[in-house]
Chain A
Amino acid sequence: MNVAVFVKYIAQGTAYTLGVTAVALPSGLVLGTLFALLAVYGGKVLRQIMTFYSTVMRGIPPIVLLLILYFVMSGQINLSPFWAGSISLGIISSAYQMEIIRGAILSVSSGQMMAARSIGLTRMQAITNVILPQTLRNAIAPWSNEAAIIIKDSSLVYALGVPEILRRAQLIGASSQSYLLAYLTAAIIYFLLVFTSSRLLGLLEKKLEIPANP
């Protein structure tokens, strides 16, 4: 068996893994930030709706939502396996990211809002110019955790037949009977992806550190 061909076959799945992550993570961030703002500043009703959303979405295993979106909802919306997988992971991730951002918003001292309002900023201006920039900086560290989880959870799209890293490792492992090599290759690729992304986010965190923070 040609090991180079073998490893290459599994590594080709990286494109799908990165693709799913590239859709799920940013869409989860945008939705999560919006939901967090609504939960903190949106008033009682919106806060309750957002809490409900977050509780439900964090309570559903990603694979269940993925199967529902692909097989059950196919009469309503016909999604490709890739999009069904990416969107479900994005939805679930938005709930987790909402909690990350919500925590980061609450960690910004309430005096900041008062100070901003007292110098004449509107509430909206205070949120976008004072609160949110600090929030997002504070959120990078916990957020890198979520990024690692999404990279690894992207393997779930194999259930719909997307030939990503794990599914490729299974297929080549079955045909060659070299399971150890197949799964080890998959593990190393996932590790490298998570390691690289964590390091990059670590650098970003350093660069964007709030100077006044102790």
Chain B
Amino acid sequence: MKKGLTLFVLVILLAGIVSACQPQAAAPQATTPPEPAAPASKLDAIKTAGKIKVGTSADYPPYESVDSAGAYVGFDIELMAAIAEGMGVQLEWVDMPFDSLIAAVQENKIDLSISCFNYSEERDQQVDFSEAYYTSEDAFVVGKDFAGTIAKPEDVVAYKVGVQSGTVQDDWLTTNLVDTGLLKAENLSRYERVDQAALDLQAGRVDVLMADYVPANALVKQFEGFNIVLKSVLSTGPLNIVLPEGDAVLKAEIDKQIAALQASGKITELAEKYFSE
């Protein structure tokens, strides 16, 4: 269940070892040009290439998914397309499991990532965040045979809870309910993907599923008998684009594009298109 998380931690630890083992100062080499004094912004490289490489985990409708022809669709997808258009560059999508995205931004495998990310302090230590482009809420979903009551978030401790691993909901449940001893660790099931959690909710292996409100609402429409019993802003809140750490120039450009799209009403238009009930 915690495999993804454990692996991630292991990789981070190994990253520490490897980087600690690297020689501190390389001998000057006549053949290679010296490094530029100030770190170059990624924005220059993006503009030069005329292309921005954006990572997403396209398994989270309506934010990001693929249609049956394999094209990327969703709120984040269209929003990013508008941002790229504003920057005057081509957009190249890179699909990756959610757990791999932050590492991919850190390691320069992609330029940035938009995948329904929320700000969190742990994440902020590794990457930077853009200004918020949308604000989301949390929802608790139950199946059709659910007989209990969930009036406040803490009530879920009496049930078996499902959540997608590595999400802010997972973080909230772990910090506020599991670590405090309210929810037994064996009663929290972490899934790699939210739809796997939904299938287990349908099968009765978990009683309640905590997820972002918009995808939760999509699940309610897709699975017969699913119900949202509680909606509240707990773990989530503003959605941000994940950017490489310390690249102020790129952040300024992305923030500028987001502000322009907010001002033009484009973001509201997209939210209505994708999140309307």
Q: Measured between alpha carbons, how far is A101 from B94 in the docked complex, in Å?
A: 39
A2: B residues at CB distance < 8 A: 68
The contact of B58 among A12, A73, A160, A171, by CB within 8 Å, is: A171
> With A68-B11, A72-B18, A160-B100 in contact, do A170 and B59 touch (Cβ < 8 Å)?
yes
Whether the pair A161, B61 counts as a contact (CB closer than 8 A) is no
Whether the pair A75, B97 counts as a contact (CB closer than 8 A) is no
A41 at the interface (CB under 8 A from B): no
Best-buried of A5, A12, A71, A160 by chain B (most CB within 10 Å): A71
A68: B residues at CB distance < 8 A: 11, 14
Best-buried of A5, A9, A64, A67 by chain B (most CB within 10 Å): A67
Whether the pair B109, A171 counts as a contact (CB closer than 8 A) is no
The contact of B11 among A71, A163, A173, A175, by CB within 8 Å, is: A71
A158: B residues at CB distance < 8 A: 97
B96 at the interface (CB under 8 A from A): yes
Whether the pair A71, B66 counts as a contact (CB closer than 8 A) is no
Whether the pair A74, B109 counts as a contact (CB closer than 8 A) is yes
Whether the pair B107, A179 counts as a contact (CB closer than 8 A) is no
B-facing residues in A143-167 (Cβ within 8 Å): 158-161, 163, 167
Whether the pair A175, B66 counts as a contact (CB closer than 8 A) is yes
Q: Measured between alpha carbons, how far is A93 from B157 in the docked complex, in Å?
A: 45
Q: Measured between alpha carbons, how far is A81 from B96 in the docked complex, in Å?
A: 10
Whether the pair A161, B195 counts as a contact (CB closer than 8 A) is no
**Per-residue CB proximity of B171-207 to A under 8 Å, as 1/0?**
0000000000000000000000101000100000000
A136 at the interface (CB under 8 A from B): no
Whether the pair B11, A5 counts as a contact (CB closer than 8 A) is no
B-facing residues in A39-92 (Cβ within 8 Å): 63-64, 67-68, 70-75, 81
A170: B residues at CB distance < 8 A: 59, 193
**Per-residue CB proximity of A1-32 to B under 8 Å, as 1/0?**
11001100100100000000000000000000
The contact of A64 among B10, B59, B99, B106, by CB within 8 Å, is: B10
B100: A residues at CB distance < 8 A: 67, 71, 159-161
Q: Measured between alpha carbons, how far is A128 from B60 in the docked complex, in Å?
A: 55
Whether the pair B195, A179 counts as a contact (CB closer than 8 A) is yes
Whether the pair A71, B104 counts as a contact (CB closer than 8 A) is yes
Whether the pair A160, B96 counts as a contact (CB closer than 8 A) is yes
Q: Give B103's nearest chain A residue, CB to CB.
A: A71
**Per-residue CB proximity of B33-71 to A under 8 Å, as 1/0?**
000000000000000000000010011110001111110
B32 at the interface (CB under 8 A from A): no
Whether the pair B7, A174 counts as a contact (CB closer than 8 A) is no
Whether the pair B96, A161 counts as a contact (CB closer than 8 A) is yes
B78 at the interface (CB under 8 A from A): no
What are the 7 closest A-B residue pairs judged by CB atoms, nearest first? A161-B96, A175-B65, A174-B59, A74-B107, A171-B66, A71-B103, A72-B15
B-side residues, CB < 8 A to A, are 7, 10-11, 14-15, 18-19, 22, 55, 58-61, 65-70, 73, 94-97, 99-100, 103-104, 106-109, 193, 195, 199, 222
